[in-house]
Structure 1
Amino acid sequence: MYEKEIKLKIRELPEDLRREVLDYIEFLLRKYKSGEIEARKFKFDWEGGLSEIREKFSSVELQHKALEWR
């Protein structure tokens, strides 16, 4: 899809930057092949972490408190 555009841009680069592009492509290939992207998905392991204070505070009150802390 972008092959022609990529080739044109790479030809414009000096040799040392072409090597950097190649290194980056290799990095991306390793990253996606190793499943690293899959492992970085967001987890909900924190869910229920504040259940003991559920009766004391509403979610809106907690949001306001979080804004104060920022």
Structure 2
Amino acid sequence: METTTSLEEKIQQLPPELQKEVEQIVQSLWEKSQHTKRQKPKFEWAGALKHLRDQYTSVELQHEILQERMKQP
């Protein structure tokens, strides 16, 4: 019958140089997990152009936005 050993116990049984390597790997995985958390998009702007509905079609608005973006440095 095999006894189970906790991850911490296994790490403690490693030589110091391998313990340091495990620490670096875990740190790398932790940093990776922090970067992959994405916020859900917020639609606070929804309806902000409602007053332009009668003046422009959606395609015309897209053209206006493109022209404004091209003006910026």
Instruction: State the TM-score, normalizing by the size of structure 1.
Output: 0.50
Instruction: Kindly indicate which of the two structures has a greater share of residues assigned to helix.
Output: 1
Larger Rg belongs to: 2
Instruction: State the TM-score, normalizing by the size of structure 2.
Output: 0.48
Q: Which has the higher contact order (CA 8 A, sep 6+)?
A: 2
